[in-house]
Amino acid sequence: MELLYEDKDLVVINKPAGLAVHADGRTAEPTVSEWFVKKYPEAKDVGEPIRTSLGFQPPSPSPRRGAGGEVVIERPGIVHRLDRETSGALILAKTKAGYECLKKQFQNREIEKIYHAFLHGKLKEGHGTINLKIERSKSDFRKRLALRSLGGARGREAITYYKVLKQTPEVAFVEAKPKTGRTHQIRVHFKALHHPILGDKLYAPKLPKLLGFERLALHAREIAFKDVLGGQHRVLANYPEDFKRALDNVGYSDI
């Protein structure tokens, strides 16, 4: 695991694509949380578990059963998450002080996250704001849906700012800044624009594979935050090899 930043309370890693952040209660697999507790055993009680009604419980050290029979998923160090196929900057808390510090910043939307992604098609505008509420799909528990109407009680507020960094006839390379942090927000918002992310098997399973991507072409490029003492930090996560090849292919350089 590539360490991008570390102090006594916090650590930022460059998460590789294909690695889940924490157990999901359905499959037994390596996770960031499992790696974290092995590297920082003193942090095993930092964080908050989640409880689900899933019927399958993978073997230890994955989820355990709660008193009511629900699955309790322990998530040491986890304050936010990235999808399994998303690579890039992920911040973790080593101490309870670090956890509370980050939790407050996420709740107040003070942490800035910048993502880079490859999209299908040619965007009409070079930059814009996607302001579409998001709700859980009733037909597929894995999916979220973007709502065209901002009125009514349905859905939760979701806002994403974006700008195009490179455009070709088939593909757009974009920077996305989510103001809110809804599940699958960037994926769902760009799908709503009819420009889904390359390699998205959930939201664009029938579209052709482009630029050699075998996974979701989404990378958490930067994260900006305050440490426990109030110091400001901005951490950059290097591109993985599949992103580097794709960037060469479209002729983009950020240097």
Q: What is the pLDDT along the chain (255 residues), one digit of tens a residue?
A: 999 999 999 999 999 999 999 866 566 678 999 999 999 999 999 988 776 654 444 444 445 544 455 566 777 889 998 999 999 999 999 999 999 999 999 999 999 999 999 999 999 999 999 999 999 998 888 899 999 877 777 889 999 999 999 999 999 999 999 999 999 999 999 999 999 999 999 999 999 999 999 999 999 999 999 999 999 999 999 999 999 999 999 999 875
Candidates 7, 9, 24, 83; catalytic one: 83
Pairwise CA distance, residues 197 & 219, whole Å: 11
Contact between residue 86 and residue 219 where contact means Cβ atoms under 8 Å apart: yes
Q: Is 9 a catalytic residue?
A: no
Top-tier CATH class for 2-21+78-247: alpha beta
